[in-house]
Chains A and B, each alone.
Chain A
Amino acid sequence: MSQSTTSEAQLARETWRVSRKRRSTLTAIVSTLVFAVVAWLLLVNTPGWSRVQTSFFDWDTAVKAFPRVLDGLWLNLRVLVFASISVLIVALLLALATTLRNPALTPIRLLAKGYIDLFRGTPLIITLYLVGFGIPGLRIEAFGRIAPEILGTIALTLTYSAYVAEVFRAGIESIHPSQRLAARSLGLSYSQSVRLVVLPQAVRKVVPPLMNDFVALQKDVGLISVLGAVDAVRGAQIEVAHFANFTPYIVAGLFFVILAIPTVRLTDWLAARMAKREQMGTVL
């Protein structure tokens, strides 16, 4: 029986690794601190700093604006939920349409591609104006007055589904064609092979980029304020006008940051986990 004792060489290596790790942590902390202090000093010594401080970072205003901004954020959250769901559905359909092989369905494929090009190219703000003021402008009796948040959700869906469709398409195309062929030769129909074989694998692969788009959407829900929806941004705007002070914008901004952090962390974690699985633990 051989006893497993750690060799001299391994001990030396481990000591060196620990010291190297300690050194790089220390370097990171010190350089960050130095940078922060320098940036801070530069900022507070600018000629207008005290004016900016009172008009953007006023504690009393922040406290007073808080309830209305929070109230508005609730609307952003609801829009976020509805927009996310409809984006996923529309994007998936678009992606499937662009990956159709059957020549008889070429018109559908081309339509989907045209849609994606159009809405990926159009700035979101313009889509928002078009939908937000264009649809009500049609004066369709049956619709009545459509709430701005609904119009905003539609515009967000139009733009984001075009982006997300491309993500899904990349995922679908990354699945080896043999997988589809294997499914079909077992007698699965086209739709069964897509639903049971291609999509489950494709979706798994695109989770990290999807999450990135979700983070972007989390911020862009704030743009529905341009249509007059009283969300966190519009709420902040009202308070800004009321107090003649910009602090409420900072409050709204912080809300969005706090909203984004969990998703951003989760995205990083997922991406790291997938990378790890693929690289099998190399250090390079």
Chain B
Amino acid sequence: MTEIDWSKPRLLAKNIRKNFDERQVLKGVDLEVYPGQIVALIGSSGSGKSTMLRCLNLVEELSDGQIWLDGDEISRPGINDDEVRANIGLVFQSYNLFAHLSILDNVKLALKVVQKKSDKEATEIALGWLDRIGLADKANQYPDKLSGGQQQRTAIVRAVALNPKLLLLDEVTSALDPELSGEVLELIRDLKNSGTTIVMATHELSFAREVADWVIFLDQGVIAEEGEAADFFANPKNARTKEFLARVI
């Protein structure tokens, strides 16, 4: 495990608010993520976890608040948000992979069109990552020929291959049965060990306890409680947290 550098946050989000019409989904959420850290976002369905991740990736327009990535404000007006997104990977529950491309071409696509790498170089990088998840021999298969776990692992390395500053994972295992989700969790563990910075929304609390450095409990659009993983799960302080943990564990 890499040591965490506390001097400069990788991601800083202040007072994030998001309304859909009249409905307030995020009501002022703050977030600090340091390089190499894994932050787990937990909370019941509808608490705003996905919305938060999508705001961080600028796929949703903020209703208020500011976000900095490595000290650079990415929420400022007029920023090139395609460039920002190229530095922040986002993987979600399902339908990540492009159905008309082989998994090799899935991984290569952004390497070529966003990072402008040559075909040869993109192939090399992509094959390297597919090999790391044991799918190099399936490189030319189409996503629908792969298991759900293989698809999710490919989706994750497709994002990681771009060497993003931050990886956002939105319940990447919740569409999978336990055995397949185990494969995916294994990959996340592996990425943690090589220093990838990750914010993940998850229902897998035991996994969050194991790999996360910091756990945030989101309740109806606000942070009800947060803390170091071990401490958070051992001594929840907030009544809502206790209730939630009692319900799901």
Judge whether A250 is part of the interface by a CB distance below 8 angstroms.
no
- Which of B17-25, B87-95, B225-233 is near enough to bind chain A? B87-95
- B68 CB–A CB distance under 8 Å: no
Q: Which of B90, B95, B113 has a CB less than 8 Å from the CB of A176?
A: B95
A242 interface residue per 8 A CB criterion: no
Let me know if B86 is at the binding interface, CB within 8 A. yes
Name the residue in A178, A183, A187, A197 with the highest tally of chain B Cβ atoms < 10 Å from its Cβ.
A187
The listed residue (A186, A196, A200) touching B85 by CB distance below 8 A is: A186
How many chain B residues sit at the interface, stated as a range, is: 20 to 34
In chain B, positions 90-108 with a C-beta closer than 8 Å to chain A are 90, 92, 94-100
Is the CB–CB distance between B114 and A187 below 8 Å?
Answer: yes
Query: CB of A37 within 8 A of chain B?
Result: no
Q: Does the CB pair A197–B86 fall under 8 Å?
A: no
Chain B residues positioned under 8 Å from A176 (CB to CB): 95
Q: Chain B residues with Cβ under 8 A from A188's Cβ?
A: 82, 109-110, 113-114
A255-284 contacts to B (CB < 8 Å):
none
Cβ contacts under 8 Å, A32 to chain B? none
Within the assembled complex, what's the spacing in Å between the Cα atoms of A181 and B94?
Answer: 11
Flag A138-162 by CB within 8 Å of B: 1 or 0 each. 0000000000000000000000000
Contact B88 A185 (CB under 8 A): yes
B162 and A186 form a contact (CB under 8 A)? yes
Q: Which of B104-158 contact A (CB under 8 A)?
A: 109-110, 113-114, 155, 158
Question: In this assembly, does B243 line the interface, its C-beta being within 8 Å of a C-beta of chain A?
Answer: no
Cβ of B95 and Cβ of A185 under 8 Å apart? Answer: no
Q: Contacts A178-B92, A179-B99 known; A184 to B59 CB distance under 8 Å?
A: yes
**Given A187-B82, A187-B162, A201 contacting B100 (CB threshold 8 A):** yes
User: Interface residues of A, CB < 8 Å — how many?
Assistant: 18
Q: Using known A-B contacts A179-B99, A181-B59, determine if residue A186 contacts B86 with beta carbons closer than 8 Å.
A: yes
**Majority SS at the chain A contact face:** helix
Contacts of A204 in B (CB 8 A): 100
Determine which of B57, B82, B109 lies in contact with A196 in the assembled complex, contact meaning CB atoms within 8 Å. Answer: B109
Which partner residue on chain B sits nearest A182 by CB separation? B96
Interface flag for B83 (CB, 8 Å): yes
| Contact in complex: A197, B98 (CB < 8 Å) | yes
A189 at the B interface (CB under 8 A): yes
Q: How far is the CA of A182 from the CA of B110 in the complex (A)?
A: 11
Cβ contact within 8 Å between B95 and A178: yes
A-B residue pairs, 9 tightest by C-beta: A187-B86, A185-B90, A178-B95, A186-B110, A187-B114, A176-B95, A189-B82, A201-B100, A187-B85
Query: Which residues does A use to contact B, with CB under 8 Å?
Result: 176, 178-179, 181-189, 192, 196-197, 200-201, 204
A185-B89, A187-B86, A188-B110 are known contacts; what are 7 more A-B pairs with Cβ within 8 Å?
Answer: A182-B98, A182-B155, A184-B82, A185-B90, A186-B85, A187-B85, A200-B100
Question: Can you show 23 pairs from A to B with CB atoms below 8 A apart?
Answer: A178-B94, A178-B95, A178-B96, A179-B99, A182-B98, A184-B59, A184-B82, A184-B85, A185-B59, A185-B85, A185-B89, A185-B159, A186-B86, A186-B109, A187-B82, A187-B83, A187-B114, A188-B114, A189-B82, A192-B114, A197-B98, A200-B100, A204-B100
